[in-house]
């Protein structure tokens, strides 16, 4: 099995971003006279995953829209600072915010006054489904069905994920809830790389990971993906099944996309959507997706992206309260 995901993905993406964006964002033929620059607000620092995604989108979008684009980094509060800044900008169609699963969690925690109705979705940029994985050699679960049956039967398992209150933590809670099982023991780690290592070591029974985070041990046969919390299966891991295919209604992912203000004129919103979608079909953006361990299903139009945003925010708030993380 060949996953074709480079292990030094971060280095590769940094090189792509620094090299290609330096060319693309200084080309003179992209800006129409008299048009103001579009602000692209991100909560990440320069070089972070969301910042990289924003800049990769901008590379071709500014050419298609014939309008300059500038990144505005507003760090802090799990995206709260970016969302609060977004609310201060005029609804003139010249502000775009990169919205992530982290923003949805922050909204669910009530740490910003921004509401879903204040935003107009433009397009989704990346989508990395949550996947439940086990140790191939040490786990008694060899199929998705055995895993589901074991949890429904009361097996006591240790799940690993990233820090408390993250998408991984919420995933474990909602997965157990959908199965009618009690919340398993949740062990937080600093990141997906450490979690994958500890899953191989046997410290946890199940890891909540994205495919890109566990590419090397999956390819080596040390970690076996069982359940994909996505809309469809994934070609590199054909033995894994989607939860939906087993009658379990749960779709969760690490995702990033773009929104503007709800008050923006519909014609302008349509212009932005068409521009971004065309830009993300370009070979440069598609290469970025491949280097991130993703595929061409990541970019999504406004209607479906808006539905996903509503689903995330609507699900996360009540879940965080039930988990005791929000009063």
How is the chain split into domains, by residue range?
A: 9-127+254-322, 129-246
Q: How far is CA 204 from the centre of its chain?
A: 24
Q: What pLDDT sits at residue 48?
A: 80
Q: What pTM does this model have?
A: 0.89
Q: What pLDDT sits at residue 292?
A: 86
Q: What pLDDT sits at residue 7?
A: 35
Structure tokens at 324: 């005791």
CA neighbor of 208 nearest in space, from 236, 182, 181, 185: 185
Structure tokens at 252: 């969760």
Residue with tokens 């965080």: 320
pLDDT digits (tens, 9 = 90+) for 146-205: 999 999 999 999 999 999 999 999 999 999 999 999 999 999 999 999 999 999 999 999
Q: How far is CA 144 from the centre of its chain?
A: 23
DSSP string, 292-317: TT--TTS-EEHHHHHHHHHHHHHHHH
Crossing angle, helix 167-179 and helix 101-108, to 10 degrees? 70
pLDDT digits (tens, 9 = 90+) for 277-321: 999 999 999 999 998 888 889 999 999 999 999 999 999 999 999
- Is the fold of 9-127+254-322 the same as that of 129-246? yes
Find the farthest-apart pair of alpha carbons in the chain and give their distance in angstroms, rounded. 66
Give whichever of 14-23, 52-61, 211-220, 261-270 has the largest mean pLDDT.
Answer: 261-270
* Separation between Cα atoms, residue 14 and residue 17, nearest integer Å: 5
Residue 34 pLDDT exceeds 90 = no
* Separation between Cα atoms, residue 217 and residue 238, nearest integer Å: 16
pLDDT digits (tens, 9 = 90+) for 88-138: 999 999 999 999 999 999 999 999 999 999 999 999 999 999 999 999 999
Where do the DSSP E strands lie in 235-294? Answer: 241-242, 253-261
**Residue 11 binned pLDDT confidence (cut-offs 50, 70, 90):** very low
Q: What pLDDT sits at residue 20?
A: 45
- What's the CATH number for 9-127+254-322? 3.40.190.150
Q: What pLDDT sits at residue 35?
A: 86
Mean pLDDT across the chain: 90
Contacts of 298 (CB under 8 A, 6+ apart): 124, 125, 126, 127, 280, 289
Q: What pLDDT sits at residue 49?
A: 84
- What's the CATH number for 129-246? 3.40.190.10
* Separation between Cα atoms, residue 4 and residue 290, nearest integer Å: 8
């Amino acid at each position: 099995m060949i996953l074709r995901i480079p292990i030094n993905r971060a280095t590769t993406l940094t090189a792509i971003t620094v090299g290609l964006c330096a060319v693309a964002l200084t080309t003179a033929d992209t800006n129409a006279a008299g048009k103001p620059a579009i602000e692209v607000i991100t909560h990440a620092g320069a070089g972070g995953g969301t910042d990289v995604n924003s800049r990769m989108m901008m590379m071709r979008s500014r050419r298609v829209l014939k309008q300059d684009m500038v990144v505005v980094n507003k760090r802090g509060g799990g995206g709260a600072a970016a969302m609060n800044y977004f609310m201060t900008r005029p609804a003139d169609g010249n502000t775009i915010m990169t919205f992530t699963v982290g923003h949805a969690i922050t909204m669910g925690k009530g740490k910003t006054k921004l509401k879903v109705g204040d935003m107009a979705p433009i397009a989704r940029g990346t989508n990395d489904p949550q996947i439940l994985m086990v140790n191939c050699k040490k786990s008694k679960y060899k199929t998705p069905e055995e895993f589901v049956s074991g949890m429904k039967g009361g097996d006591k398992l240790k799940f690993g994920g990233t820090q408390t209150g993250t998408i991984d933590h919420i995933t474990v809670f909602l997965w157990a809830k959908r199965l009618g099982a009690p919340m398993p023991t949740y062990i937080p780690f600093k990141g997906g790389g450490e979690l994958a290592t500890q899953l191989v070591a046997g410290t946890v029974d199940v890891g909540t990971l994205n495919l890109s985070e566990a590419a090397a041990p999956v390819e080596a046969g040390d970690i076996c993906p069982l359940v994909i919390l996505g809309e469809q299966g994934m070609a590199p891991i054909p033995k894994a099944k989607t939860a939906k295919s087993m009658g379990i209604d749960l779709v969760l992912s690490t995702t990033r996309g773009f929104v503007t203000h709800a008050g923006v004129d519909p014609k302008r919103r349509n212009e932005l959507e068409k521009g971004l979608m065309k830009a993300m079909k370009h070979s440069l953006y598609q290469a970025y997706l491949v280097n991130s361990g993703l595929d061409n299903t990541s970019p999504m139009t406004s209607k479906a992206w808006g539905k996903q945003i509503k689903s995330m925010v609507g699900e996360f708030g009540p879940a965080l309260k039930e988990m005791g993380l929000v009063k």
